[in-house]
């Protein structure tokens, strides 16, 4: 077993591979052990160029190497001091909860709620995909009616894109729902939603609209939770 003394800043670089992150220049000497002879991914030997090591009973392997070998690209966001693994946000897009906040929310019942998030928590669609960027409309058991939320656009956006479908919580609702999109209070698009439907990608041309409204309509009462999600909703400028 080989052992070696390395600076803490070097160890930090090895953890991340070429992500470009280093620890403080106030280095601390660590005793590490190069006792990893092989790494296998799907039974294939794939040892990284930067050798893994063990320190205090924990094995350290370059993050970029492991992620990319498993099919997930790695990106270092220096402005937010964040390592992104896999899919990242579209840099040309504007997101509810980060770049836009809602201007109006209405519903027919206190048991009908809406929420939205950008990178704060997660939601699942009805086929198990996870999202940290979403808008969701939830109907508690025994509720029906309309739920509406509006966002200001001020004529600054040209396109809205999202995936639309039922969430994991609402996937077994026995009654049909309708999702409607309004531009300046005029109906632009209408989408029927039923249990078993696959999520669908939608794209709305905004035509210089001053505001956009999303409405969910549930016309029947039942004992099941119904929840509709806009997954990865985002706006684009010209």
pLDDT tens per residue across span 39-71:
887 787 878 878 888 888 888 888 777 777 777
Residue that wins the pLDDT comparison between 154 and 22? 154
pLDDT tens for each residue of 193-235: 999 999 999 999 998 899 999 999 999 988 889 999 999 999 9
CA distance 179 to 56: 54
| Domain map (residue ranges) of the chain | 2-85, 104-236
Identify which of 109, 186, 181 has the alpha carbon closest to the alpha carbon of residue 145: 109
| Residues 145/170, Cβ–Cβ less than 8 Å | no
pLDDT given at position 52: 84
Q: What's the pLDDT tens digit per position in 77-133?
A: 676 677 767 665 567 899 999 999 999 999 998 889 999 999 889 999 999 999 999
For residue 87, what pLDDT is reported? Answer: 62
Euclidean distance between CA atoms 14 and 22, whole angstroms: 9
Sign of torsion over alpha carbons 121, 124, 128, 132 = negative
What is the maximum span of the chain, computed from C-alpha positions, in angstroms? Answer: 72
pLDDT score for 145: 93
pLDDT of 6 over the 60 cut = no
Predicted confidence at residue 2, as pLDDT, reads 59
**Which residues have CB under 8 Å from 22's CB, separation 6+?**
9, 12, 13
What per-residue confidence (pLDDT) applies to 51? 80
Write down the residue that tokens 């894109």 correspond to.
161
Helix (H) or strand (E) holding 8: helix 8-16
123-141 burial string, b = 16+ CB within 10 Å, else e?
Answer: bbbbeeeebebbbbbbbee
Predicted TM-score (pTM) of this structure? 0.67
Q: Which residues pair with 68 in a beta bridge?
A: none
The answer to whether domain 104-236 has CATH 2.60.120.1060 is: yes
pLDDT for res 149: 97
In tens, the pLDDT along 13-24 reads: 444 444 443 444
Question: What does the pLDDT read at residue 13?
Answer: 44
pLDDT given for residue 85 in this prediction: 73
Question: Which runs of E-coded beta strand occur in the chain?
Answer: 2-7, 29-34, 40-41, 44-45, 53-55, 58-60, 74-77, 82-85, 104-107, 112-124, 130-139, 145-152, 159-166, 177-183, 186-193, 200-205, 211-218, 226-236
pLDDT tens digits, one per residue of 133-150: 999 999 998 889 999 999
């Amino acid at each position: 077993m080989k052992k070696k003394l390395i600076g803490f800043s070097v160890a930090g670089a090895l953890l991340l591979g070429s992500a470009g992150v280093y620890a403080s220049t106030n280095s601390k000497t660590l005793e590490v052990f190069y006792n990893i002879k092989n790494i296998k991914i799907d039974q294939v030997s794939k040892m990284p160029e930067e050798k893994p090591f063990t320190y205090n009973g924990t094995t350290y392997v370059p993050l970029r190497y492991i992620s990319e070998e498993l099919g997930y690209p790695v990106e270092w966001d220096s402005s937010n001091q964040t390592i992104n693994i896999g899919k990242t946000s579209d840099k040309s897009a504007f997101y509810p909860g980060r770049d836009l906040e809602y201007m109006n929310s209405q519903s027919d019942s206190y048991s009908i709620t809406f929420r939205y998030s950008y990178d704060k928590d997660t939601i699942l669609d009805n086929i198990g995909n996870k999202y940290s960027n979403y808008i969701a409309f939830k109907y508690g058991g025994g509720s029906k009616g309309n739920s509406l939320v509006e966002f200001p656009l001020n004529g600054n956006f040209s396109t809205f894109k999202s995936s639309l479908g039922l969430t994991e919580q609402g996937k077994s609702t026995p009654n049909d729902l309708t999702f409607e999109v309004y531009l300046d209070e005029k109906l632009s698009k209408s989408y029927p939603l039923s249990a078993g439907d696959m999520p669908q990608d939608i794209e709305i041309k905004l035509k210089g609209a001053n505001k956009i409204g999303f409405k969910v309509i549930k016309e029947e009462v039942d004992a099941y939770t119904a929840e509709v999600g806009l997954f990865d909703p985002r706006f684009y400028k010209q």
